[in-house]
Amino acid sequence: MRDRQKELLELLDKSGANLYALLTRLTLREDVAEELMQELFIKLSNSRRFDKAGNRQAYARRAVINLAFDWRRSRKRNPLRLEQVREPASNDSSPLSKLVRTEELDEILNAISRLKGACREAFVMRYIQEEPYDYIAEQLGKSTHQVRAMCSKALNHLRNMLGHNRQKSSGKETHNVKK
Amino acid sequence: MSKNDENQIERRLKVLSQIEPSPRATERAMQRVRDTLIGERSRQSAGARIWRTVFKSPIAKLAAAAVLLIAVGYATGRLSAPEPLDVEELKASLESSLKSSLEPAIRQDLLEQMDDRWQSAFADGIAQIKEELQRQVRRDLTEFAAQTLAASGSLTNQRLMELIQLIEAARIKDRERIETAFKQIEINQTQLGKSLLAMASRTNELLDIKEN
């Protein structure tokens, strides 16, 4: 038990900042990222699979991605109340542009959340963490070629999803005009 | 999807990848996790620490020894004293004796009742089966008779038809024979007539000769 806590503290020192940054990128909220970071380490300290995992860092990253997308899904089910809305993480200053940008990013993150398992992990590592293909392949235990294929497939899915959403919303508008 | 939209996706992904939490927030989050992990470790070791602290003090050691002695004395007293009436044990023994005396009788009675029920049910069943069988045999016989009657009727009709055909054929043959006979008689009559005419003319000739 003590060994595991030592390992977790080592993991925190080594990858904690990266994991927190990833959580912030996926949730767009520092406060939520902090909560999820806490939850992550509590889960890891109680997880038997973590002990058995060959690559603990990869295991923790996968857990981060799952936690963040679960949070996004739960947020969709329970829409935010006004008092819960905090300022999103963004580099722009104008409130309107901040809002627009957050909505845009939310849209793409929701689309990413609909991707499956390893495909989603590879995509997040490549496009959000900007990791090189070789590193991703090593972390996922796949070949570089496979990772490239997975990322390309995921990007296509994303294009289709976002294109479909756009068509749906434009269809709605036309319908409203006709009425 | 247009090229423009693709560019938009790429732009958004780029923006996402460039988001960095503030160093203060990162530090705060990491510190919070660290505190939690260390707190958990200290909670786990707290139990052991309490015992260590207790046994460091000589008064605590004496108190623990006294408690241990009292416990040993109590246990010895309990073990050497005559055992009090155990209600639970009494209840259990009563239950077992009652069970052993009543169980065979109840079982026997139950078996007899079951036998009676089975027998009456069996008798009823046999009577019912017998009646059903009789009814079935009667029904089968009636059906068989009807079928036989129908079959024999059709056979008789067939034989009668054959007989009629034979009689008809015989009649036709007879008629033909009679016709042939009549034809023969007619031929014979013609020849007889001719012979008679010839004989008459001969007679006339003879008579004429005689007169002359």
Shared-domain flag, residues A178 and A101: yes
Give the residue from B2, B7, B19, B31 with the most A CB atoms within 10 Å of its CB, the best one to mutate: B19
Tens digits of pLDDT across chain A (179 residues): 567 788 888 888 988 999 999 999 999 888 999 999 999 999 888 888 888 888 888 899 999 999 999 998 887 765 544 444 455 555 555 666 666 677 888 888 888 988 888 899 999 999 988 999 999 999 888 999 999 999 999 988 888 888 766 666 555 433 333 33
> Which of these, A62, A65, A64, A84, lies nearest to A75 by C-alpha position?
A84
Q: Find tokens 């690559």 and name the residue.
A: A55
Shared-domain flag, residues A98 and A176: yes
Does the residue A23 lie in any domain? yes
d(CA A156, CA A136): 19
Written as six digits, the tokens of A64 are 């981060």
Instruction: Mark yes or no for CB contact A30/B22 under 8 Å.
Output: yes
Instruction: Mark yes or no for CB contact A41/B36 under 8 Å.
Output: yes
Shared-domain flag, residues A29 and A108: no
Shared-domain flag, residues A171 and A119: yes
d(CA B2, CA B209): 156
Instruction: Mark yes or no for CB contact A30/B19 under 8 Å.
Output: no
Which residue does chain B place closest to A26, by CA atoms?
A: B16
d(CA A64, CA A39): 10
Shared-domain flag, residues A99 and A179: yes
The residue among A78, A109, A144 that closes a domain is A78
Number of domains in chain A: 2
ipTM: 0.74
Shared-domain flag, residues A98 and A175: yes
DSSP code string of B164-201 = HHHHHHHHHHHHHHHHHHHHHHHHHHHHHHHHHHHHHH
Shared-domain flag, residues A121 and A47: no
Does the residue A85 lie in any domain? no
Instruction: Mark yes or no for CB contact A34/B5 under 8 Å.
Output: no
Residue B92 region by backbone torsions, left for phi larger than 0, else alpha for psi between -120 and 50, else beta? alpha
d(CA B21, CA B24): 8
Instruction: Give the amino acid at A90.
Output: S
Written as six digits, the tokens of A127 are 């496009």
A5 touches chain B (CB under 8 A): yes
Instruction: Mark yes or no for CB contact B1/A34 under 8 Å.
Output: no
Residues in B lying within 8 Å of A, measured between beta carbons: 1, 5-6, 8-9, 12-13, 15-22, 25-26, 28-30, 32-34, 36-38, 40-41, 44
Shared-domain flag, residues A52 and A104: no
pTM summary value? 0.50
Shared-domain flag, residues A112 and A177: yes
Contacts of A20 in chain B (CB under 8 A): 21, 25-26, 29-30
- pLDDT per residue as tens digits for the range B92-129: 888 888 888 788 888 888 899 999 889 888 888 898 99
Does the residue A53 lie in any domain? yes
Residue span of the structural domain in which A14 resides = 1-78
Does the residue A149 lie in any domain? yes
CATH number at residue A148: 1.10.10.10
Shared-domain flag, residues A24 and A51: yes
Does the residue A89 lie in any domain? no
Any residues with CB less than 8 A from the CB of B33 and at least 6 apart, and which? Answer: A12, A16, A37, A38, A41
A91 touches chain B (CB under 8 A): yes
State the nearest Cα–Cα gap between B34 and chain A, in angstroms.
7
A37 touches chain B (CB under 8 A): yes
DSSP code string of B114-155 = HHHHHHHHHHHHHHHHHHHHHHHHHHHHHHHHHHHHHHHHHH
Where are the alpha helices (H) located in B57-86, listed in sequence order?
A: 58-80
Burial class (CB in 10 A: 0-12, 13-18, 19+), A171: exposed
- pLDDT per residue as tens digits for the range B32-64: 888 888 876 666 555 555 555 555 666 767 777
Any residues with CB less than 8 A from the CB of A163 and at least 6 apart, and which? Answer: B1, B5
CATH number at residue A56: 1.10.1740
Contact A37/A23 with Cβ under 8 angstroms?
yes
